[in-house]
Amino acid sequence: MSRQGRRHTVSRLSSRGGMLALISFLTVTVGALIPDPDVVRAGLFGLALIPLSWPLARWNLSRLSIQRALPQDCFVGQLFSTDLLLSNNSHLLPRFSIELEDGFAGPSEKGLSTPFLAQGTTVRRSMATRMLRRGTHHRIRCGFVSEFPLGIWHSRREIRDHIEFTVFPRPVLPRALEDSANAGFSDADIIESNRPDSSGDLHGIRRFQPGDRLKMIHWPASARTSELMVRLYDRPLPHHYFIAYHSISPTLTDNDRAEAFEGAMELVCGLFLNCKANAIPFDFAASFNDWRTLRVRDAHSMDAALHLLAAARRTGERDPAALIRAIAANGYHTRIFLLSDVPVREWEPLLPEFPCEVTCLSIFDLRIRRPGRIFRMVSATPPASQSPA
């Protein structure tokens, strides 16, 4: 959905128009010196043609409109297809030599152009583009350009377009966090056999290996094959995550935080999609959402969480009390992720002990804290470059 704002038309004499003015002036001068009335009249006609064509140049850009056929949403840097439509809303007269320069198309595209646009008709162009900034509302500048008539005037009509289009942050997940988050999904046989229980689903059998527990032996299969066989179970998925985002800084220094905030939104988005890929339900609370908890259990709630990231605006805080209350109010979780655009070292000392594993993450560093242990540095290297793909 788009809403076109103020329009402003500017007409400037083109190089051809300037040459016409110079030649016409010289023609009048030479005709007066000869003297030759016909030469003077030809020069005066050329001079008169310039102001007379000015209203036509401005009229040619009137009653034009632009529309875009967009997908429902996308991620930053994701290539998607869009249709650009240019319409002549006049029911009486056509328009000539129209070129559309669309800021939405990006620097590599020129929009579209048409030498003739009949009254009441529309021309369409399909192209691929991408969005470089997240958000739900975007201000786009576009313009209609024409040198009609005769190339004398270069006219441009600029439109400030407001587009309602959801762009999610580019998902980014640091390698150290990805390895840590996926540590519970290993299929190694040794890990399977040494699990303290068999709460997962049975998915097969294999030969007995030293170290396997006797209760895991599948006796009917062992009798059929004349060798010991043990059961294989799927590893149970982590039960529940709690993900919290905050901008807590004891000093409240908000200078130059805009880029860090965008990078942090990319990390949160990457963690969301990691949970989705591994079918892990989670609760999400954030300072920019007034610490209201969003419970993500299915595709619909995941979509709501991503829309929340697209519309997020930074809210700085000094006291971690609201964060701690949000965690305590949501009961037991198998793992907690705390993400921020503030370096971990600034808010780490403000946290109490938690009964489960806590991962503290910012774009500057990542630390994991296990119950009864101090923070362990995992990576002090920022994630991939924050510039859009």
What pLDDT digit, counting tens, does each position of 190-248 carry? 344 444 444 456 678 888 888 777 888 888 889 888 899 888 766 555 568 899 999 98
Alpha carbons 207 and 192: distance in angstroms, whole number:
13
Alpha carbons 218 and 244: distance in angstroms, whole number:
44
Question: Average pLDDT of 273-300?
Answer: 91
pLDDT of 1 reads 53
Alpha carbons 112 and 90: distance in angstroms, whole number:
19
Alpha carbons 1 and 16: distance in angstroms, whole number:
39
- Length of the chain in residues, anyone? 389
Query: Of 111, 99, 90, 89, which Cα lies nearest the Cα of 144?
Result: 99
Burial 124-137 (b: 16+ CB within 10 A, else e): ebebebbbeebbee
pLDDT of 236 reads 55
Domains, the chain: 2-168 (2.60.40.10), 175-179+237-379 (3.40.50), 198-233 (no CATH)
Give the H/E segment covering residue 37.
Answer: helix 37-59
CA terminus-to-terminus distance, the chain: 25
- For 118, phi and psi rounded to 5 degrees? -65, 160
DSSP 170: P
Alpha carbons 258 and 363: distance in angstroms, whole number:
12
pLDDT digits (tens, 9 = 90+) for 161-199: 888 999 999 998 766 565 554 444 333 333 444 444 444
The two tokens of residue 120 are 């009441």
Contact 266, 309 (CB under 8 A): no
The larger pLDDT score, comparing residue 187 to residue 264, is at: 264
